[in-house]
Amino acid sequence: MKKISVYCGLLFLCLMMAGVLKAQELDIKEIPSCKYCGMNREMFAHSRMLIKYDDGAQEGTCSLHCVAVDLALNLDKTPKAILVGDYGTKSLINAETAFWVIGGSKQGVMTKNAKWAFADKADAEKFRQENGGRITGFDEALEASYKDLADDTKMIRERRKMKKMKMMEHKH
């Protein structure tokens, strides 16, 4: 009898975890690419973000850079939730309570000044020790994203120009 209870408990736990994973994948299936840069959100699940507005609208992006763009363009909308992919697990977590690592040696997504989110402070600290940077909260990470926006936009434009030139060279 005890074994049956344990097995039922394990089965229930597995089904709950499967449901959580399905919900995590749902945002990528519903919004497969970032509307601002076109990047594949599944490829960037570790940095992707999802904003849920109080009017029921939602926007999925590849990174904090593109969330900053969306928030600036939608000043009259109130975010009900801002979620971000945990760097390690790729699961969506609350961006406002996450531990953010700004800077370091790891190449950022859409930015020279990387910004990574972690659900657990210990994971953020381990990442910081291995890659550098500093641990901060969401408000500081978002502020850094706005401060980096001009340089990052210039960098992205230059990269796309070079990519386009290479494509033209290969055609000829």
Listed by start position, the domains of the chain span: 31-171
Stretch 66-93: mean pLDDT, rounded? 97
Mean pLDDT across the chain, nearest whole number? Answer: 89
pLDDT at 171: 81
More confident residue, 165 or 11: 165
* pLDDT confidence band for 166 (50 / 70 / 90): confident
Q: How far apart are CA 22 and CA 26, in angstroms?
A: 6
Tokens 């000044």 identify what position?
113
Which alpha helices (H) appear in 31-137, and where do they start and end?
64-73, 121-131
* pLDDT confidence band for 3 (50 / 70 / 90): low
Pairing between strand 79-85 and 92-94?
antiparallel
Joined together, the tokens standing for residue 41 give: 């959100």
What are 120-133's pLDDT values in tens digits?
999 999 999 999 99
